[in-house]
A and B are shown apart, each in its own frame.
Chain A
């Protein structure tokens, strides 16, 4: 059990995810900013090979190029941007079997009740299933084990894989 003292802080969820990503050789990282992912993006900005991309499907395209060159790239996006990226995944990543890790925040799912995000909140999992991309909800507690699994899918099985992030997994508040 982790213990708290006056000087130590419990490991935050975003730190555990960050550690898991870097410990398993993932990178480079391509992200389009998202409030839910902001704490993780801050860590990547300072400590990793991180690039901001203006639009999510372009991030998928750049990551596909990095993957062809032998990297294990990660694309970080909100699920609204996942909607934007469906064709890039459906006509490039999946049929060409280009491995990469997607980290997708789940706006429009509890506790996020913003109306404009509800439809994509409902659609994200069915679309991933339709694409044939395996996914799991990522948690700080499970990150070490989950990142190892993702590493084996992306680097050994050579398949794309997605982690979904609940809106309140890091510090986001409705």
Chain B
């Protein structure tokens, strides 16, 4: 069974709607930005820092935060796993969409074929790791973890690169993303 990256993003957003959500650099941000939600942060640059950004959001807001990362991004900078994995009280789901390629730069193979990403997460302290390869599996895993999130969760999601052209680039008005997302995160009074 296979699922495309776009299908995986759709399942994640439908299963975990309204959470503060960080999308990593490249097509994942573009796919997320189609829906342009106020609870979304599209991180168009700083490849590799999506998990660190999500960690800061979860740490300071106390809200369950979803990070939609990619295999290339995590391979570029896995250091974020160290801080997230060390905090058993961190309300965070790290969803890694692994298509094995750098889709947004032309589909070059990533050097991660021999890397066991969930094992990296476990080695850094993540006690809850999963590997899924279908829309049903992803939905079931997210739903059950969200019901009772007791520790940071790592979901390794095997996907195929999309065959349809990617959505357009995320807006150039990046300050606007910050303003909208910060407002969304403001404590309700």
* Contacts from A to B (Cβ < 8 Å): 28, 51, 53-55, 57-71, 73, 87-88, 90-92, 95-98
Question: CB distance A58 to B49 under 8 Å?
Answer: yes
**CB < 8 Å: which of B57, B80, B175 contacts A68?**
B57
Question: Is there a chain A Cβ closer than 8 Å to B159's Cβ?
Answer: no
User: Once the chains are docked, how many angstroms separate the CA of A76 from the CA of B114?
Assistant: 35
A66-B54 Cα distance, complex, nearest whole Å:
9
- What residues of chain A lie closer than 8 Å to B186, measured between beta carbons? 70
Nearest-neighbour CB distance to chain B for A30, whole angstroms, equals: 8
B52–A70 CB distance below 8 A: no
- Count of residues in B whose CB is under 8 Å from the partner chain: 33
- CB of A34 to closest CB in B, whole Å: 17
Contact A92 B60 (CB under 8 A): no
Determine if B178 and A96 form an interchain contact, defined as CB atoms under 8 angstroms apart.
yes
B57's partner among A69, A92, A96 (CB-CB below 8 A) is A69
Q: In the docked arrangement, what's the CA distance between A60 and B150, Å?
A: 26
Residues of A within 8 A of B187 (CB): 70
| Any A CB within 8 A of the CB of B9 | no
Closest residue on chain B to residue A57 by CB atoms: B49
Knowing that A60-B52, A65-B54 are A-B contacts, what are 11 other residue pairs whose CB atoms are under 8 Å apart, sorted by A's residue number?
A: A54-B83, A61-B49, A63-B56, A65-B60, A69-B57, A70-B182, A70-B187, A73-B60, A91-B45, A95-B175, A98-B178
Write the nearest CB–CB distance from A161 to chain B, whole angstroms.
16
Contacts of B46 in A (CB 8 A): 57, 61, 87-88, 91-92
- Bound-state CA distance A55–B45 (Å) is 18
